[in-house]
Amino acid sequence: MASLRSLPWDSLEKYSGTLGLRNLGILLVTGFIFIKVIELAHSLHYHSRRARELGCRHPQRIRPNRLPLGVDSVIRMMKADNHHQVPEELHKIYLEQGNAIKEGVVNTWKESKFGVSHYVTVEPRNIQAILATQFNDFEVGRRRFNVSTPLLGKGIFILDGKGWETARTLLRPQFARSLVSDLDLEERHVQSLFNQLSMPGSDGWTKVADIKPLFFNLTLDTATEFLFGESLHSQLQTSSTDLNKSPVRHGYDLRCVAEAIDTGLHDMAVRIRLGELYWLYNPKSWRESIRLCHGFTDTYIQLLLDKGQEANNSEGGGERGTKYVFLNELAKSTQDAMQLRSQTLAVLMAGRDTTASLLCWIFWMLARHPAVLKRLRQCVHESFGACSEPNITFESLKSCKYLQYVINETNRTCTILPFNVRVAAKDTSLPLGGGPDGTYPLYIKKGAEVQFWPSITHTREDIWGPDAKEFNPDRWEGRKPGFEFLPFLAGPRICLGQQLALTEAAYVVVRFLQRFDQIESTDKSWERFHHLTVTDAPMELPLRFHDAGM
């Protein structure tokens, strides 16, 4: 055996140096891959063990992709959006999952887009777990915060954990029943809406008009008066023939502020749909809407804070004297200007579109169901009297059963929030969705998204009967729904403004049916076309009304 001294060390050193220069990259890449393989193996082993501990099985159904990274699914939904048919496309996807297996029913499945897996469920027990019984296992997630915070700040709808709890505690008292039943406020703005309708002709009919923008103006005006004590009067601006004479308040053109709210909601919806690529969408319109919405809101906040303790101890402010003003009452609990802006904008953005969309779909349905309209109008006449002498209270609106049935059935068949999403805050499970028949728990690892589609849950035939897709208010007779009916979500994060929205919608319906006895649509088709932003509304609502007194 040769001694160590006899080896050609100079040659070996030269060779090893050359080897390092040539192959260092390969060695590093190989090492990186090796480490990742080890990490992947460890992760698979860990999550497999955790799934067994939780009694979980593999997903009943994994939705396949035809193109790499699920690009085909993305393109499919983009096409549906362009054709204004997203809820219908969701229903097709749901049916496809059941048709693909022998059992024929799949209510929870796994799919992937851009290489990231997530889950979809339309199962009430799973939704109950997400929203209520396993509430702490799920959160709205960082992405929603990043998408929306430029406009909404740290509003309640995009917060998790302690931040959400603080906001909830701050806002809950502002939605007490006594504070959300200001029907005098509603009446003023309903009359402004009526003034936008044409006078009935000799046959008693108004001219055909797109009622959708009138409903959105109505809810914007009531929301801003509720929040700030002063309305934007967007209904009056719409009818103005002189675009150069838009009213100005506190240095802000009110027409521009109203348009900024619309634009902000639209652009935020686009960012939400882009998912992790939301940051690519940052147009000038988005930035300008943020500037106007923040500036307008900050003006009211600064005026309030400048008044100091005297304003905080009053019952209201501005034009409304001693009446309730949301912002003034909120300032009694916090003097943080950013907190005041965030929560006020959150309530404005959420409340305005939710109620307007519901009203649009109610009248869309009434125009296509004359028998329902006739019966509802009879109930309105018996419960609330004539148009000139209405007898309407919060309690009487709630106790008018058929009116509530119509509102519920509209919320069921025309879901205002067709889909939603939560993110697992820790390794957890859903009660159903695993195993060959979907009856075993389904493992959800930390960070995984779970989408739930109320629009599908609301129309499942095994829950609602073979006529689930039909509009039938009578199905609500004696029915007390659970998590199969989620117009305002449920659990700790249930919508605080639920009663405000339902009261406003009911009041508007009653006042319309006291004044008009027939509603006709120029669109005779039953095909729905959706204007889907954060909420879902019809693309347009061309209607005419027949005066009940003619």
Residue set of the binding site: 495
Contact between 291 and 285 under an 8 Å Cβ cutoff? The reply is no
Cα-Cα-Cα-Cα dihedral sign, residues 495, 496, 500, 506: positive
CA atoms of 428 and 126, how far apart (whole Å): 12
Cα-Cα-Cα-Cα dihedral sign, residues 146, 339, 345, 162: positive
Tell me the HSE value of 365 on the side-chain side, using a 13 A CA sphere.
26
CA atoms of 359 and 452, how far apart (whole Å): 24
Phi/psi of residue 111, each to 5°? -150, 170
Classify residue 130 by its DSSP letter. Answer: I
Phi/psi of residue 2, each to 5°? -70, 145
Where is 62: in which H helix or E strand? Answer: none
- What would the two tokens of residue 55 be? 């009694």
- What would the two tokens of residue 226 be? 């509720």
CA atoms of 476 and 411, how far apart (whole Å): 12
In the annotated binding site for heme, the residues are 495
Tell me the HSE value of 256 on the side-chain side, using a 13 A CA sphere.
20
Beta-bridge partners for 489: 487
Cα→Cα distances 262→48, 257, 271, 285, 366, Å: 47, 9, 15, 11, 26
Tell me the HSE value of 50 on the side-chain side, using a 13 A CA sphere.
15
Burial 302-325, CB ≥16 within 10 A → b, else e: eebeeeeeebbeeebbbebeebbb
**3-state DSSP call for residue 247?**
coil
Cα→Cα distances 45→48, 55, 82, 255, 506, Å: 5, 15, 43, 59, 55
